Amino acid sequence: MLLKMLSIIWLFNGAPFAQNFSPIWMNSQDVHHLVKASVLAANEKKGLVGQLEAKILTRQIIKTSQCFDIDPIIFTALIWRESHFRHLSQSETGAVGLTQLTKTGIHEVLDRLGSESLRKRDELRNQMASCYPTILKTIPANTDVVDFSEWKRKVANSPEIALIFGAVLLKINLNSDYRLALEKYNGDPRVKVRFATDVLTLAAWISSSFMLIPQTASNNSKFLASIQGFLPTPTM
């Protein structure tokens, strides 16, 4: 009941997500339950992600969220919106992986993580060093001679790298407003506002244990319309 009330308040207030919300009222068991339920729900009709893969992916999503201090439910919603948790997904525009990254997005991430980059972010490098030291060692010092096609293949073939790079790209633009960060994550001026609304509405739906049907699934959002009326029953 509390979750449902919070989600209703969230929707009526325009879903600003000025601050992280799930760590405030969710314990780790709640988060694990909702993330795993999301992975399975997104694939329930086609059965493309099984129980074992969902379990592994849930652990990876939570670890990555904790590592970069981003909201795990919003990050889960972003992945659902981008790829339905299918790591071999590829868009018509060439975006790849769980978090649907383009060469431009990969360039941005590598530039912020490179030890010799003028735009490096020490906070992100420190977080990477703490959680993913082996992967950090593979990051080029700068992007002057990077083969972005090769890094795009890595993102496409490795769920772990896709999650890390997606989290870093979201974190780069995150101060306190997830809506703005999500708009910058997508970047396409034609759809970025709708993309952010999709992700935040889906996050509220997940947080309500899928009991509150998204009310903003209007004609301009095929994604939200596609999940209207779909009420999976999460299981532990």
Supply the CATH number for residue 66's domain: 1.10.530.10
Q: Residue 12 falls within a domain, yes or no? A: no
The total number of structural domains that make up the chain = 1
Query: CB neighbours of 210 closer than 8 A, spacing ≥ 6?
Result: 37, 41, 231, 232, 234
Question: Does residue 205 fall inside a structural domain?
Answer: yes
Tokens 């592994």 — which residue? 56
Asked if 19 contacts 174 with a C-beta cutoff of 8 angstroms, the reply is no
pTM of the model: 0.85
In a domain, 174, yes or no: yes
Judge whether 149 lies within some domain. Answer: no
Report helix, strand or coil for 90. strand
CA 153 – CA 151 distance, rounded (Å): 5
Does residue 64 fall inside a structural domain? yes
Tell me which amino acid residue 61 is.
I
Of 166, 145, 34, 31, which Cα lies nearest the Cα of 95? 166
The answer to whether residue 127 is domain-embedded is no
Range of the structural domain that residue 47 is part of: 24-101+160-227
The answer to whether 32 touches 81, Cβ cutoff 8 Å, is no
* Any domain includes 183: yes
Residues 6+ apart with CB under 8 A from 118: none
**Structure tokens of 1?**
């009941």
Q: What is the pLDDT along the chain (236 residues), one digit of tens a residue?
A: 444 444 444 443 444 443 444 444 467 889 999 999 999 988 887 777 889 999 999 999 999 999 999 999 999 999 999 999 998 888 888 899 999 999 999 999 999 999 999 999 999 999 999 999 999 999 999 999 899 999 999 999 999 999 999 999 999 999 879 999 999 999 888 889 999 999 998 998 898 887 765 555 555 677 877 776 554 444 44
